[in-house]
């Protein structure tokens, strides 16, 4: 195949838009958290971006997209991107853009996916444990799922369709979030009167940039600017997000008597996450219907998990991404049309009822991998190295205690927090000394 300059230009832009989503995620999450933990989120996200990028370069891409090893994961033929062409395509994946550009676009997905979990573990996981956790999660959960669905693995051969990541990304992350929240436990003094967002404008800015970046996320997954798929994906993505945002705003208004800004931006993100798997396969009319379902069901997920079951998923990743992604993935089995995307499946409404159960299999596998795999990883880490900061550190905040930095330049408050942290370390040191040398003075 001959490289197409238009497709190549579009994919350069799309990959950059997805990269924009990563700092946008930091703005969104930090704004919704307490001020004393705002900087820690940015450290997790930027360090994670760098580390996950290096992992993808060394072995992640090869394990995800090269030929199967025992049908479970790719081989190591493409480690360090050996053999990936810069001036020719990988025809089995993207026949009109350079192979290295396909690697880079998929790199952005590989980076942002584990980082979505920062919204669940916020304010209570040790940074050292976070680093190990997202590395293990990528290797043991994300890379195999990518291979099974997008790398020609057994789910792809079964016929599971996932245009831009509702199964591979949002279902797996959402169920992982549920497991992580259960293993970590609630934050200290957990309750709505305490866990107040410190900067709603910052969160709104972050959600707006996420919305913008999502056009690269979804429409970029067409891997081409030619034809109508990318253009249709853009309007479908926008419509579903808009509908879901309105539904979350309306439901919050009905339940509390006040329309919530936080609910509205979360509804928009849920709409974006939910339409992701179906965005390249459905019409805008059907996206309207799917957006309604995403809004109602994902909002109900928050009520169930947070209010009924009292699970402290800090920023509702399990519902905003997980529940929404499941709805969108199953919607493919009903609304997908090969008239929209000739390379995609037909759903129930277009004469292929089998696609619905096929999608259910994909959702079930991703959900089980996300929840079960995360549970096992964190339980092992919990018993070997510990995963949660001490109560004293949690009270002071992760910014000071984990990074000795503050998100805001209030020097007097910073020094008071540092004094508190120093006193805490001295108290711990004194206790350890007395245990080791009873009866002696330090």
| Dihedral angle sign, alpha carbons of residues 159, 161, 165, 171 | negative
Which one, of 9, 18, 216, lies nearest residue 96 by Cα? Answer: 9
Which one, of 350, 109, 349, 324, lies nearest residue 237 by Cα? Answer: 324
Tally of CA atoms within 13 A in the half-sphere of 434 that contains its CB: 6
Count of residues in the chain: 442
Per residue in 79-122, pLDDT (tens digit) is 999 999 999 999 999 999 999 999 999 999 999 999 999 999 99
Residue 243 reports pLDDT greater than 70: yes
* Structure token pair of residue 78: 């493409």
The CATH code that applies to domain 5-384 is 1.10.3430.10
Task: In whole angstroms, give the CA distance from residue 137 to residue 422.
Answer: 34
Per residue in 321-344, pLDDT (tens digit) is 999 999 999 999 999 999 999 999
pTM (predicted TM-score): 0.92
pLDDT at 370 (0 to 100): 98
Average pLDDT over residues 253-257: 95
């Amino acid at each position: 195949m001959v490289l197409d300059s238009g497709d190549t230009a579009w994919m350069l832009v799309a990959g950059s838009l997805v990269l924009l989503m990563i700092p946008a995620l930091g703005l969104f999450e930090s704004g919704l958290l307490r001020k004393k933990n705002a900087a820690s989120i940015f450290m997790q996200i930027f360090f994670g971006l760098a580390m996950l990028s290096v992992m993808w370069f060394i072995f992640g891409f090869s394990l995800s997209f090269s030929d199967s090893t025992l049908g479970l994961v790719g081989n190591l033929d493409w480690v360090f991107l050996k053999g990936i062409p810069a001036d020719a395509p990988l025809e089995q994946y993207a026949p009109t853009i350079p192979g290295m550009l396909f690697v880079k676009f998929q790199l952005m997905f590989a980076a942002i996916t584990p980082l979505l979990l920062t919204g669940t573990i916020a304010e209570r996981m040790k940074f050292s444990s976070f680093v190990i956790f997202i590395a293990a999660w990528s290797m043991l959960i994300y890379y195999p799922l990518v291979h099974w669905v997008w790398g020609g693995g057994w789910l792809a051969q079964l016929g599971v369709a996932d245009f831009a990541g509702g199964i591979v990304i949002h279902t797996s992350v959402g169920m992982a979030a549920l497991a992580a929240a259960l293993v970590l436990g609630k934050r200290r003094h957990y309750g709505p009167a305490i866990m107040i967002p410190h900067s709603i404008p910052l969160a709104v800015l972050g959600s707006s940039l996420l919305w913008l970046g999502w056009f690269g996320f979804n429409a970029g997954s067409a891997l081409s600017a030619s034809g109508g798929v990318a253009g249709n994906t853009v309007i479908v993505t926008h419509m579903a997000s808009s509908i879901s945002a309105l539904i979350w705003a309306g439901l919050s208004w009905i339940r509390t008597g006040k329309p919530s800004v936080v609910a509205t931006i979360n509804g928009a993100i849920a709409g974006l996450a939910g339409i992701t798997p179906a965005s390249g396969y459905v019409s805008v009319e059907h996206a309207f219907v799917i957006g309604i379902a995403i809004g109602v069901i994902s909002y109900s997920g928050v009520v169930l998990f947070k209010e009924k079951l009292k699970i402290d998923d800090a920023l509702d990743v399990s519902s905003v991404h997980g529940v929404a992604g499941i709805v969108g993935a199953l919607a493919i089995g009903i609304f997908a049309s090969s008239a929209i995307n000739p390379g995609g499946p037909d759903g129930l409404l277009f004469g292929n009822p089998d696609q619905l159960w096929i999608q259910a299999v994909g959702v079930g596998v991703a959900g089980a991998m996300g929840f079960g795999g995360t549970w096992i990883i964190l339980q092992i880490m919990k018993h070997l190295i510990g995963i949660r900061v001490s109560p004293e550190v949690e009270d002071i905040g992760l910014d000071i205690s984990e990074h000795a930095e503050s998100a805001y330049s209030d020097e007097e408050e910073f020094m008071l927090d540092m004094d508190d942290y120093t006193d805490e370390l001295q108290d711990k040191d004194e206790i350890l000394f007395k245990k080791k040398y009873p009866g002696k003075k330090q």
